Amino acid sequence: MEKIMRLVLFDMDHTLVPADTGTIWSQFLQEQNLISLEKAQERAQFLADYQNGTLNVEEAYRFELGVLQSLERDLRKELLNQFFEDKVKPLITAKALQQVAKHRQNGDYLIMITATLEEIASPIAEFFGMDHLIGGRGQIDAQGNYTGEIELEPCMGRGKLVHLEEWLVKTGNNPVEYTFYSDSHNDLPLLEQVDVAIVVDPDAKLRQIAQENNWQIISFLNS
């Protein structure tokens, strides 16, 4: 691939998509009678734990992988496309699309980097026209099925740096400028490393840190 000069990274949940897609995915599956109400509530608790800083990350990933593994592969793909069209696409704002388009027109290389499993995030990244997607990855066995274990490490917090570094090494890229858009203080390890940190509809903790560091604060929400 051609060498990248400017790399622009976008978080997904509560940044490009003003919601937690994992929770909506579980609710969608529960509406389809594919998982129980108890399972959907268990997934909602993971979100609360994440926001409180008490999430057992490995347990959360195993839960997500177990749900995907319980669905036959062709059905899974069909459901994920329906989930995106019915539940996620209507939430995406013009402001988010316009900002991504501006970077694309500028010739920047666009990556969505998210804690969400890549299989779930893929239709969303495709809709935004991302050049690449970096997300959570489950280990795959010889038959092409999830083993229930995480590949590399969870793509959140410091893990986003690990996943990004893996991609840079694999592709041989060394961009001259990095920009990162995020809403969450959980993304501070990456926000503190990039040249341009832009916070989007941030949580209270990140808003305070952004103000202290003179980082740009913007909103993708419809006013």
Residue 10 counted as domain residue: yes
pLDDT value, residue 55: 84
Q: Is 108 a catalytic residue?
A: no
**Pair 180, 190: CB distance under 8 Å:** yes
pLDDT value, residue 32: 93
pLDDT > 70 fraction of the chain, expressed in percent and rounded = 99
Residue 46 counted as domain residue: yes
For residues 147-152, average pLDDT: 84
Query: Concatenated DSSP letters for 33-45?
Result: TSS-HHHHHHHHH
Residue 223 counted as domain residue: no
Domain count, the chain: 1
Output the average pLDDT for the chain.
93
pLDDT value, residue 44: 83
pLDDT of 1 > 60? The answer is no
CATH of residue 193: 3.40.50.1000
Q: Give pTM, 2 decimals.
A: 0.93
Instruction: Give, to the nearest 10 degrees, the angle between helix 118-128 and helix 57-69.
Output: 80
Residue 188 counted as domain residue: yes
**Pair 113, 128: CB distance under 8 Å:** no
Residue 93 counted as domain residue: yes
Residue 1 counted as domain residue: no
pLDDT of 51 > 80? The answer is no
| Confidence band, pLDDT 50/70/90 cuts, at residue 223 | low
**Pair 218, 200: CB distance under 8 Å:** yes
Residue 91 is given by DSSP the state: G
CA dist., res. 85 & res. 29, Å (int): 14
Q: Is 13 a catalytic residue?
A: yes
Q: What's the domain range around 131?
A: 6-218
Q: What is the CA radius of gyration of the chain?
A: 17
Residue 134 counted as domain residue: yes
